[in-house]
Chain A
Amino acid sequence: MSTAKVDLHRLARVANTMIVALTVGSFLAGLYISFWFHFLTVFFLLLTVINFFYRYVQTRHTILRNFGVIGQVRYMLESLGPELRQYLFSSDTEERPFTRVDRAEVYRKAKGIDAAVSFGSLLEYGPTEVKLRHSMYPSPQADLEPFRLTFGEERGIENCFTLTKPIIISAMSFGALGEPAIRALALGALQSGIAMNTGEGGWPKHHLEEGGDLIFQMGTAKFGVRDGEGMLDEARLRELASLPAIKMIEVKFSQGAKPGKGGLLPKEKITQEISDLRGVPMGKDVISPPYHAECRDHASTLAFIQRVQEVSGLPTGIKMCVGSLDEVGELFAEMARRDIFPDYIAIDGGEGGTGAAPKPYIDSFGMPLLPALAGVDQLLRDLGIRNRLKVLAAGKLIGAAKWVMAMCLGADAIYSARGFMFSLGCIQALHCGDNTCPVGIATHDKTLQHGLVVEEKAERVKNYVEGAVHDFEELLCSIGVTHAGALNRSHLYIPPQSILAGEAR
């Protein structure tokens, strides 16, 4: 071999011999030179024992069996890999699910730094990307109409709820997030005048503490409003809906990160308080059923939605990730036939986030947001019922440009979950499931929560909302419209080869 090459197998063999040799060598040195050398003797002796254990006793790890202590270096490096890649080796547009470019924009907004970007786009700017179209004649800022979206107006109910900003904090349960994170979001939502979805974590005790507008989410396990059998407890729902902070109810059918499967809260994250609020035991993963027991077909689903609307007296929406547009189309047709409509439908893209979900579900289930959204919008239009309910969209919509794109394809307002986590200081460490979130957001570990100061982060949430809404208004002007309702597909450049260009299915 003429080239220099690290032969790890050889290196390990040498190391394994050396450990024994060094033990003997230190012993001799301790004997003949100075007793101090016996510190080394003892060290190498223990190392020899551990090495022996690795190579001849344990059977779990092949690498340790074949290479001994040197093999540990591999595991150490591997465990540091994600951090090393994130800090040193990944380019700004490479990380998943959110690139550093995406995240940095939220961080800047949250900190109130309105920095322009220099020189050019870091993203692909080829003909294959969906882009926004500007007009040669932008609308004057003064002509912009304030954003208003009223839920429940179609049914003419008493307790309508009106949004004045296009963005809502998407469902994140107390359980997935810790108490300070929930409170910082709730306080930030209050200060910036937006609403917040409670997630499926049961009675929204900590959300209520801050006093902002809430959308109560009823997951398939109905935590907070379930009876002994896991069915809807109408009295509890009525009691909850009578709280002034609760503005809407959302029946969750599925979520982009785990469609076709219920919510999952790992046992590491179940504290006494969570077990009380949800009414579940500690020390066991909480797995919600994949469907509402009341809903087994389109008819029973609509009956259930109507029941929740009647019991709560509030605008009631549904949330789902689209699996098949045909199936959803049948549901819509049934709505039209029975004249029962939820007050909104929130479409979660398959790319949606979660605190914890099985890998095949995160990676491989559910339609991506944009085609699902466009398809739903089209189905509603085809049936002539687009004006009977609102459409919300969720799925990596961080930043005003993404909001506008979703609105061009049919969304009336935007849900964002992880965007708000970034505004709280999330660094995408991907530890939401094991209670070790280093920034104290997705954990119940008090020592990790120490770093998250509620008032400070609420301010960040508010800055983020204000910065992004400001961008949003500017984009509307550049596109040449005066209100969000005027956005449509013609405001998008959709490349001809895109699935969005044809019939969206």
Chain B
Amino acid sequence: MSTDPNPSPEPPAPVGRSPAVMTILWIAKLGAAVILLGAGSLKLSGDPHEIELFTTLEMEPAGRYLIGALECAAAILIVIPQSAVYGAFLGLGLMCGAIIGHLTKLGLAGIQFALLVAALCLVVLYIRRRDAPFIGNLLDR
């Protein structure tokens, strides 16, 4: 009875996480989601500052709508437990783009939000790393 004679392919086991870790996870998820949703809706609603930024990037208006929509999608995905890692991946990617934009064209003002969201996404990814596609199954349990 003690040894399992038939190790079957294990589903990503929900490793028991302590309440402290769960709290951090949810703070990171909600924090990232709120900022992403705020930024995304500003872009979609045509906020003058966003229009100015995207004009500088020569991506007006298509780029603004696309990025805004992706930010909103990431915000939603990241709060739903089953899709949190995908939301975090998407959020991280978007923030990498934003950081590149600030470093190369837009100036440093406002970069702190992008850095903050990227960090929060990394926190989510780290805590939920075992569920991450292509990576999770390579990590120790």
Residues of chain A having any CB pair with chain B under 8 Å = 27, 30-31, 34-36, 38-39, 41-43, 45-46, 50, 53-54, 58, 60-61, 64, 72, 264, 266, 268, 285, 287, 356-358, 433-434
List B contacts of A287 (CB < 8 A): 1, 5
List A contacts of B138 (CB < 8 A): 54, 58, 60-61, 64
**Nearest CB in chain A: distance from B110 CB, A:** 16
Can you list 29 contacts pairing A with B, beta carbon distance less than 8 Å? A30-B104, A31-B104, A34-B58, A35-B57, A35-B58, A35-B59, A35-B101, A36-B59, A38-B100, A38-B101, A39-B97, A42-B97, A42-B100, A43-B93, A46-B89, A50-B134, A50-B135, A58-B139, A60-B138, A264-B5, A268-B8, A285-B4, A287-B1, A356-B6, A356-B8, A357-B6, A358-B5, A434-B8, A434-B9
The interface size bin for chain B is: 20 to 34
A268, A357, A433: which contacts B11 (Cβ < 8 A)?
A268
Q: Tell me what chain A mostly uses at the interface: helix, strand, loop, or mixed.
A: helix
> Which parts of B1-37 form the interface with A (CB within 8 Å)?
1, 4-6, 8-9, 11
| Nearest opposing residue in chain B for A39, CB measure | B97
List B contacts of A36 (CB < 8 A): 59, 63
List B contacts of A54 (CB < 8 A): 138
Known: A45-B96, A53-B135, A58-B139. A266 touches B63 (CB 8 A): no
List A contacts of B139 (CB < 8 A): 58
Complex: how many Å from CA A38 to CA B94? 10
A31, A46, A60, A268: which contacts B93 (Cβ < 8 A)?
A46
List B contacts of A64 (CB < 8 A): 138
B92 within 8 A of A: yes
* Interface-central residue, B1, B97, B135, by most chain A CB under 10 Å: B97
List B contacts of A42 (CB < 8 A): 93-94, 96-97, 100
A-B contacts besides A264-B5, A266-B6, 6 pairs, CB < 8 Å: A27-B100, A30-B100, A35-B105, A42-B93, A58-B138, A433-B6
List B contacts of A38 (CB < 8 A): 97, 100-101
Known: A31-B104, A38-B100, A38-B101. A358 touches B6 (CB 8 A): yes
Inter-subunit contact A433/B93 (CB<8 Å): no
Complex: how many Å from CA A30 to CA B94? 15
Complex: how many Å from CA A45 to CA B99? 13
Complex: how many Å from CA A358 to CA B6? 5
List A contacts of B63 (CB < 8 A): 35-36
List B contacts of A266 (CB < 8 A): 6, 8
CB 8 Å contact bits of B100-119 with A (1 = contact, 0 = none): 11001100000000000000
**Nearest CB in chain A: distance from B3 CB, A:** 10
**Nearest CB in chain A: distance from B82 CB, A:** 14
